[in-house]
Structure 1
């Protein structure tokens, strides 16, 4: 069975987009996702995205990391879906309903309201999520935010000095985070944020839309920046708007790279 796909990216965070809204797909296993995501023997991607019919929204977006695990939210993929869909839509995700639309800069996404309760992150036991009383080597005083998926955010003076490739997996899999966690390390300068992200199930990434949202929210809660705020990752810059009690608005580019087909049985 030949399956059409669209290869897309948001600031270098790349996706295989499969549209199952009108064409049924065979059962998708973690092994098939990992095989398709392999950059040497598959198509290659950070995440595989499946668009499906929904009874709750215009369509559903399912998100699989390159290790085959399904996750709740992906900001960059939401912008890619907006570009692919071509018009405003409500989208069901594992993290809730989001709203997407095209914009002059690419796409605009209403990510919904962030969650700060310790058991909504989730964290293993109750604590203040604005200032977690925990540390890992030189990374101290983090915040935690759930923006459809769990994030921990560290603000540092020198972003380049942090060995995130080493510390990221240690923090991601710490028992404090029962569903694992995305790890964000940020430096605030001139009212803007520079950010690097270790993504749960994917590793170091050129861009993470939900990470940019979570980090901006944490910085705004701490009074470090004002909304809207520019968040720059290795792949480029996003603009994040948020105020207390409101939804997070993310705006930035998304790009279609190419289209093709593959034989499902080659990866099943």
Structure 2
């Protein structure tokens, strides 16, 4: 049968939500890859399947557009939370992810706040290929590394406009130091409460924004003492707020918007053997 979905974005960081509560999860890596094709499918940076859960309002599973899975996606988590809170007329819910149990709230301004969990700094948690000081990696430019459920590598630069992200990003992403690859951030500090961020996303290219990358970049700046505990993160597509007290969980706060809802055709949902078999 056809598969329904919702296309949403968070400051231009676009994602698809598939609501699979009360049914088996239909999303496979192959289907995510077909849906993620911007010419032949729907197109997205990430896809989230909303599933039944015994100890939370729902469980989320995430896929990249190339069909690979990931444990954290701040934008799609906010989108799913927005959808479920509108449906239930509630202002707070809990979502289970591979990252853990994430509490989500709607702010008085209508934005969605997500407790993204505590950042991880151990070399094996990120992971790195060898034991190193993750505050300053032995790479040119001395970037910092952390995990928000996915790996992040953050460079602090004087002039963001001078950085060739399309060239540098994939080179750093695939550096042997990162066995699972890494998201790459280039940060220009405007002041202690405001940064400008551009991103090379692991397996994804250059997005307009990213919730988890905004968290990873801000956390690394706070960890180095360069930023205050509440930071406005300005990406190409808009601004989110990241809050971290230096000890506990990271909070990501920002808007989400539904673009449209639709149905995947049977041909895309169940391709012939001349295409991908699923």
Q: TM-score scaled to structure 2, two decimals?
A: 0.91
Q: Which residue of 2 aligns with 1:83?
A: 82
Unaligned runs of 5+ in 1: none
| Matching of residues 1-268 of structure 1 within 5 Å | 1-26=1-26, 28-86=27-85, 87=90, 88-103=92-107, 104-135=109-140, 140-191=141-192, 192-268=194-270
SS at match of 2:124: helix
TM-score with structure 1 setting the length: 0.94
Aligned to 2:276: none
Of 81-90 and 215-224, more deviation after overlay is shown by 81-90
Q: Secondary structure at the match of 1:203?
A: coil
Residue-by-residue CA offset, 1:63-116 (whole Å, 9 max, x unaligned): 100111011101111111111111322212122221112222420000011011
Q: How many residues align?
A: 263
RMSD: 1.3
The C-alpha deviation readout for 1:44-66, integer Å capped at 9, x for no partner, is 11111101112343211111001
Note the alpha carbon deviations across 1:210-240, whole angstroms, 9 max, x for none: 1111111111111111121100000100111
Counterpart secondary structure, 1:120? coil
Alignment check: 8 A CA contact 1:173 1:180 kept: yes
- Kept in 2: contact 1:5–1:19 (CA 8 A): yes
Q: 1:264 to 1:170 in 2, by over 3 A?
A: farther
Residues 187-220 of structure 1: CA distance to partner in whole angstroms, max 9, x if unpaired? 0012210001111121110001111111111111
Name the CA shift for 1:105/1:162 in 2 (closer, same or farther; >3 Å): farther
- The structure-2 alpha-carbon separation of the partners of 1:61 and 1:264, relative to structure 1 and needing over 3 Å to count, comes to farther
8 Å CA contact 1:238–1:251 kept in 2: the answer is: yes
Secondary structure of 2:169 counterpart: helix
Taking the aligned partners of 1:201 and 1:97, their CA distance within structure 2 comes to: 25
Q: Distance between the aligned counterparts of 1:184 and 1:46, measured in 2?
A: 16
CA contact (8 A) 1:95 1:149 kept: no
Q: Distance in 2 between matches of 1:95 and 1:173?
A: 23
